[in-house]
Amino acid sequence: MAGDLKFPGNFLWGTATSPTQVEGHVANEWTDYVASDGNHCRVACNHYHRYAEDVAWMAELGVNAYRMGIEWSRLQAAPFAPLNPTELDRYVDLLDRLKAAGITPMVVLHHFSNPPWITSTGGWLNPATIPAFEDYVTRLVTALKERVWLWNTFNEPDTYASLTYLLGGFPPFHKWRLWSYRKVIRHMAAAHVRASEVIRRAGNSGRTPEIGIAKNWTFFGPLEPHAWWDRLLAAISHRTFNHFVLDAFLSGQRRAASTFLGVNYYGLARFKNFEPMVPAGGARPEQLAELGVVCDDMFERHPGGLGTVLRDFHRRYGLPLYITEHGAASRDENFRIRDLTEHLRELHGAISGGVDVRGFFYWSLLDNFEWQFGYSKKFGLLEVDFSDERLPRKMTRVGEFYREICRTGAAAAALKDSRVSTG
Ligand code: FCB
């Protein structure tokens, strides 16, 4: 293994957040939601009032890109209504501060949340949501096209549709409604095509816009290789969660709507007697340790899978790729540093093998509101102390480690540090 993993010079080294998870003061279907740790997202990291400070932190981290969401419910109070000028100005100011700091924005148009008037009319099950979304995107893109060229239409349609209609984890908490799941994906895929047309038509004076979704890629498998029932469940999950979604967005004529494909990669979920053996599925850490499952506070780790999925997407779709999310949740910073190192090695291997990967966005800038789990999952490059109402941010060791990579464009420090921490 080379001592110095050099990455392409124009590579985007970024970090990512989403509005509901960091902004606070948001009125969408999550406002009244109480997470398993008893908390809600009403203040979150108060990024809404503190974005200027958070941009300064990003500059300190040395990232040159930021994947950020824009919250539809803030901007449009009713279908086909004009955008709220005050809220729009706030996002414009954020984008201008990023520009001044030399940070390229990637804007996410939908990240697990909707305006109340969309939710009350059936959300993404209702085909009328497609033209409503198109209208919103038209207005937003017209307003921001001089400032944004990287557009991520949908974040993880797979996770969103499965947690809303199959697994009951996200509002409206339905379970096992396979037809609803499929319908949501199909409607989002249609909306993606329309949004892509809008973005292309609007253009950007500086450079040609880029458009894509962020696909969550999760590997599924049986924990015990001989358990045919778990193998079958893994195969069904793989088909439904991974391939059905990729086909809906990228097969046939719809392929032309995307200029890139984003990959959110966290790892692997293996089943044992139909139960997913991951902390996010409720498995206890002690039980997982006994079974030899290496995981963060969410999923089983599988760094080698990152190389596999990048090579596979490259072969299958031939689109430029971004790692739109990767990170690990743990209070053990050595673990997180090691995890990042292993994934960057895989990423570097894929790029050296000819896969066109253009950027990496670490999830997340801040410890934040992790949906069903509230503030209990620690993903931040910056730690946030939620017990202090001033919500102070503090650089973590993972943040320092990532800063070295962002500044040098090489993961040499990563290798050095991982040798120390793996012991
Ligand atoms: C992804 C989501 C993101 C965050 C991370 C941990 O599935 O897109 O909002 O919850 O997982």
How far apart are the C-alpha atoms of 251 and 256, rounded to whole Å?
9
For the chain, the average pLDDT equals 96
Residue 41 Cα to ligand 1 midpoint, Å, equals 15
C-alpha 364, offset from chain centre:
9
Query: Mean of the pLDDT values across residues 396-416?
Result: 86
Confidence grade of residue 398 (pLDDT, cut at 50, 70, 90): very high
Query: Mean of the pLDDT values across residues 221-244?
Result: 97
Mutation pick for ligand 1 pocket among 264, 297, 361 (CB with most ligand atoms within 8 Å): 264
pLDDT value of position 412: 66
pLDDT value of position 204: 81
Both tokens assigned to 382: 């910056």
Residue 368 Cα to ligand 1 midpoint, Å, equals 10
Closest atom of ligand 1 to CA, residue 379: 6
The more confident residue out of 2 and 51 is 51
pLDDT exceeds 80 at position 217: yes
pLDDT exceeds 50 at position 92: yes
The more confident residue out of 413 and 378 is 378
pLDDT value of position 59: 98
pLDDT exceeds 60 at position 163: yes
Strands 275-276 and 321-326: unpaired
C-alpha 255, offset from chain centre:
21
Ligand 1 pocket by C-beta < 6 Å: which residues?
18, 21, 155-156, 159, 216, 264, 325, 363, 370-371, 379
CA dihedral 147, 150, 152, 153 (to 10 degrees): 60
The residue whose CA has the least distance to atom 4 of ligand 1 is 370
Are residues 198 and 134 in contact, defined by beta-carbon separation less than 8 angstroms? yes
How far apart are the C-alpha atoms of 321 and 75, rounded to whole Å?
30
- Give percent of the chain with pLDDT exceeding 90: 94
Looking at residue 191, its amino acid is A
pLDDT exceeds 80 at position 335: yes
Are residues 43 and 25 in contact, defined by beta-carbon separation less than 8 angstroms? yes
Confidence grade of residue 139 (pLDDT, cut at 50, 70, 90): very high
Radius of gyration, CA atoms only, the chain: 20
Kindly list the catalytic residues: 156
pLDDT exceeds 60 at position 4: yes
Residue 112 Cα to ligand 1 midpoint, Å, equals 9
SS3 of 2-30: the string is CCCCECCCCCEEEEECCHHHHCCCCCCCC
pLDDT exceeds 50 at position 183: yes
